[in-house]
Amino acid sequence: MRFHFVTSAARAAVVALPALLPTLLHSGAARADEYARIENVPIVAVRLEGALPVAPSVGLLTQPSNWVRGDAAAVLEADPSDRRTAENDRLVSDLVGSGVAVLELLLPEQPEARLPILFGALLALSRDAGAGPVVALGTGRAGQAVMDAAAPGLTARFTGEGGPRFTMLVALRPGCHFGTEVQSPMVVYVAAGLAAGETDPTCLHQVALAQD
């Protein structure tokens, strides 16, 4: 299987969109149309009882052309102050090339919005898109935000008892990508929703498995 790259020009469009705009990307955007489907997805923040409401956001969903309900997906949250767009392109391409749908988010500047938006992304993939195993990946400051979601008992508060769960949560080191071969261990583990115990330790900063 080959890896097919989605360009920054297409993916960066989400940064310029208003948070409430759920429109589709134009089909003529600079991307490999025959290899992936790309669309903007509204993210409804999960509101906990007694908490102030958080404004909804929007994510950029890239799906392999043969992706179907029940397949693996990943939430990739990036630090908006991190300008390494080429590295994020590689992350997305590695995952999409191995059959994983990727929902990209920008880390909210307001700390109180970060968990509600992250769990809202989980619900968008699991309930709306019908994804199977879902992992959360964070780069830069977003890595810590992703790891915060692994606190015991936190997921049940946001998605309910028996609700969707992240199979794995990973904080990535700068410059990390999953390799040039489809059998790269990290890609295989993410796609299968398995533990990352044998992956390249230089790539991973922190890893947490499924939580209650």
- Average pLDDT of the chain is 72
* pLDDT value, residue 203: 61
* pLDDT value, residue 88: 76
pTM for the model stands at 0.74
Residue 121's pLDDT band, with cuts at 50, 70 and 90, is very high
From CA 158, how far away is CA 160, in angstroms rounded?
A: 6
Give 26's contacts (C-beta < 8 A, 6+ positions apart): none
Question: Which sequence spans correspond to the domains of the chain?
Answer: 33-209
Determine contact, residues 139/173, Cβ cutoff 8 Å.
no
* pLDDT value, residue 64: 92
More confident residue, 175 or 108: 108
Q: Which fold has domain 33-209?
A: Rossmann fold (3.40.50)
Neighbouring C-alpha atoms within 13 Å toward the C-beta of 171: 15
pLDDT at 36 over 60: yes
Residue 116's pLDDT band, with cuts at 50, 70 and 90, is very high
* pLDDT value, residue 85: 63
pLDDT at 122 over 90: yes
C-beta neighbour count of 211 within 10 angstroms: 17
More confident residue, 178 or 61: 61
Residue 124's pLDDT band, with cuts at 50, 70 and 90, is very high
From CA 63, how far away is CA 77, in angstroms rounded?
A: 16
pLDDT digits (tens, 9 = 90+) for 161-194: 888 999 888 888 766 655 544 344 454 455 444 4
Most confidently modeled range among 13-17, 153-157, 201-205: 153-157
pLDDT at 89 over 50: yes
* pLDDT value, residue 29: 31
pLDDT at 86 over 70: no
- The tokens describing 134, both together, are 């879902």
pLDDT at 212 over 70: no
